[in-house]
């Protein structure tokens, strides 16, 4: 009998071991797939911004997006990842993966060189570090691409890269450490809850862009002498709208990466997915709410504008407006919030434009204004929900005042460094291209290639064969 019990116990242990390995492999695959999905976001931004540029600037706009992506990866590796693990409370004892402090982990990854290999080897409990890093690095690249669209057609390439590094590998990462980490002071002290990063990614990036735009100034020809604004159309609306749809596709990967899945080394629950705060989340909630948000945002913008650009921008605004509470909202409520975001999108962008801010693609409004709107709406509709793992009353709970405080902090973490760094670049002559280069077109002076070497026929002109 004892031998049978021992044999049975060994079989159970073997099954548990196999189950653990299977869960770990699933978790790693889950995050690994978020990376190419989020790269689709950058394909979308590339098409979106090139289409929104005039013909003379189309390639220079594309070059900015390519460089933003490329520079984010190494800079986030060397210090952005460190900021996330080292900054939540300012205390070196903040926990990290693999049973060590966050600072120890961050030091090994960013500055340990050979020591970082321990997170790439056969450590079954922590094989997910690299793919989790990859997901965060793509968040960083997304913030840079958000800022990129607002400043097209007049910013210097090197100045833009410097701004992108500050935003993508520092400013938003501080916001994430404070408000997207279970030990972040905004979470533990104020109950800030931002599951899908509406505030700490989108709002930070949007208002960073606003700080840059204040110093960068409008494009030549944007405003008349009386202060009224002119519409400067991009050269290819179909490309712009297609790019926006690709961003929507990539958003699924972005929001997948916000889920802590079973088997992952930092999972709160053994067999259930959770948010980064340890509160429950299901992929079903994402499936319902993301689709309802896309539809709500498009319909809201369509009702007000009938403009395909603002309709697809409304899809983005719809997702961003409910991103903070995708783990909490019911689908009908997600639709209503997204619909309202689509409705206010164009009026908010027009209000900003009438005050001398030339945001070429509406990034400040779509990501900044709507990001904060969504953050505050969660405080309105989800007050009393646990903000961290545990039952209500035992842990910080979501509240309107907490969400407003989070919104203010995220605004400042975006706008202040955006304004300060761009001001320094402006004083150094590294922010804006010369007037002559802007009039001639950035492609002519900055890019050794032609976007359309054979030209694009003007609308309404019929060319004879061979012309």
260 φ/ψ angles, rounded to the nearest 5 degrees: -90, 110
Contact 190, 406 (CB under 8 A): yes
pLDDT in tens, 253-293: 889 888 887 755 555 555 678 888 888 888 899 999 999 99
Tokens of 224: 């008349």
Question: What mean pLDDT is predicted for residues 33-40?
Answer: 89
Cβ burial 173-193 (10 Å sphere, 16+ → b, else e): bbbbbbbbbbbbbbbbebbbb
The pLDDT of residue 45 is above 80: yes
Tokens of 382: 């989800």
DSSP string, 290-323: HHHHHHHHHHHHHHHH--HHHHHHHHHHHHHHHH
The pLDDT > 70 percentage for the chain reads 79
Contact 199, 320 (CB under 8 A): no
Backbone Cα Rg of the chain:
23
Contact 413, 172 (CB under 8 A): yes
pTM for the structure as a whole: 0.88
Instruction: Give the C-alpha separation, 98 to 105, whole Å.
Output: 8
Question: In terms of C-beta density within 10 A (0-12 exposed, 13-18 middle, 19 or more buried), how is residue 35 classed?
Answer: middle
Structural domain boundaries of the chain?
A: 20-94+101-446
Q: How far is CA 191 from CA 3, 117, 257, 380, 392, in A?
A: 53, 36, 22, 14, 11
Question: In terms of C-beta density within 10 A (0-12 exposed, 13-18 middle, 19 or more buried), how is residue 149 classed?
Answer: buried
pLDDT in tens, 298-328: 999 999 999 999 999 999 999 999 999 999 9
Contact 260, 267 (CB under 8 A): yes
CA 15 to chain centre: 40
Closest-CA residue to 170 (of 83, 235, 98, 64): 83
The pLDDT > 90 percentage for the chain reads 62
Q: How far is CA 412 from CA 172, 216, 361, 372, 416, in A?
A: 11, 19, 22, 12, 5
Q: How far is CA 154 from CA 214, 415, 430, in A?
A: 13, 20, 11
Instruction: Give the C-alpha separation, 205 to 363, whole Å.
Output: 9
Q: How far is CA 280 from CA 195, 283, 396, in A?
A: 11, 10, 15
88 φ/ψ angles, rounded to the nearest 5 degrees: -55, -50
Contact 372, 407 (CB under 8 A): yes
* Pick among 1.20.1250.20, 1.10.10.60, 3.40.30.10, 1.10.3430.10: CATH of 20-94+101-446: 1.10.3430.10
Q: How far is CA 81 from CA 78, 104, 151, 189, 436, in A?
A: 7, 12, 26, 23, 40
The pLDDT of residue 449 is above 70: yes
Looking at residue 263, its pLDDT comes to 56
Q: CA-based angle 308:305:407, to the nearest 5?
A: 95
Instruction: Give the C-alpha separation, 376 to 363, whole Å.
Output: 19
Looking at residue 79, its pLDDT comes to 83
């Amino acid at each position: 009998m004892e031998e049978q019990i021992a044999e049975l116990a060994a079989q159970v242990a073997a099954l548990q071991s196999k189950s653990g390995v299977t869960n770990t492999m699933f978790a790693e695959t889950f995050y690994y797939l978020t990376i190419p999905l989020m790269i689709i976001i950058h394909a979308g931004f590339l098409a979106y911004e090139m289409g929104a540029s005039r013909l003379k600037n189309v390639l220079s706009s594309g070059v900015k997006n390519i460089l933003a992506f490329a520079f984010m990866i190494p800079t986030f590796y060397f210090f952005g990842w460190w900021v996330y693990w080292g900054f939540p409370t300012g205390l070196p004892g903040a926990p990290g993966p693999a049973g060590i402090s966050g600072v120890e982990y961050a030091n090994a990854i960013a500055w340990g060189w050979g020591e970082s290999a321990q997170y790439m080897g056969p450590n079954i409990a922590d094989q997910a570090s690299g793919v989790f890093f990859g997901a965060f690095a793509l968040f960083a690249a997304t913030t840079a691409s958000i800022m990129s669209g607002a400043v097209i057609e007049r910013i210097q390439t090197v100045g833009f890269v410097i701004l992108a590094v500050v935003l993508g590998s520092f400013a938003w990462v501080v916001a994430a450490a404070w408000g997207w980490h279970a030990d972040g002071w905004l979470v533990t002290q104020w109950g800030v809850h931002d599951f899908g990063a509406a505030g700490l990614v989108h709002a930070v990036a949007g208002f960073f862009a606003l700080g840059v735009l204040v110093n960068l100034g409008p494009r030549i020809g944007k405003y008349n002498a009386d202060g009224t604004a002119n519409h400067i159309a991009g050269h290819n609306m179909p490309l712009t709208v297609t790019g926006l749809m690709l961003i929507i596709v990539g958003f699924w990967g972005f929001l997948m990466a916000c889920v802590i899945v079973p088997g992952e080394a930092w999972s709160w629950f053994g067999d259930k997915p959770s948010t980064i705060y340890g509160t429950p989340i299901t992929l079903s909630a994402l499936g319902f709410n993301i689709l309802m948000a896309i539809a709500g945002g498009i319909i809201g913008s369509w009702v007000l504008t009938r403009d395909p650009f603002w309709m697809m921008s409304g899809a983005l605004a719809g997702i961003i407006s409910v991103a903070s509470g995708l783990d909490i909202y019911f689908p009908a409520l997600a639709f209503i919030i997204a619909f309202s975001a689509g409705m206010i999108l164009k009026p908010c962008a027009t209000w900003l434009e009438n005050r001398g801010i030339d945001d070429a693609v509406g990034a400040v409004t779509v990501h900044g204004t709507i990001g904060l709107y969504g953050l505050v709406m969660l405080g309105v509709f989800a007050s009393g929900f646990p903000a961290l793992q545990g039952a209500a009353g035992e842990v910080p709970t979501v509240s309107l005042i907490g969400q407003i405080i989070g919104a203010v902090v995220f605004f400042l973490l975006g706008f202040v460094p955006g304004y300060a760094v761009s001001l320094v670049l402006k004083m150094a002559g590294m922010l804006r291209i010369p007037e002559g280069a802007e009039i001639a077109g950035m492609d002519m002076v900055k890019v050794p290639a032609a976007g359309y070497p054979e030209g694009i026929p003007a609308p309404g002109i019929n060319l004879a064969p061979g012309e």
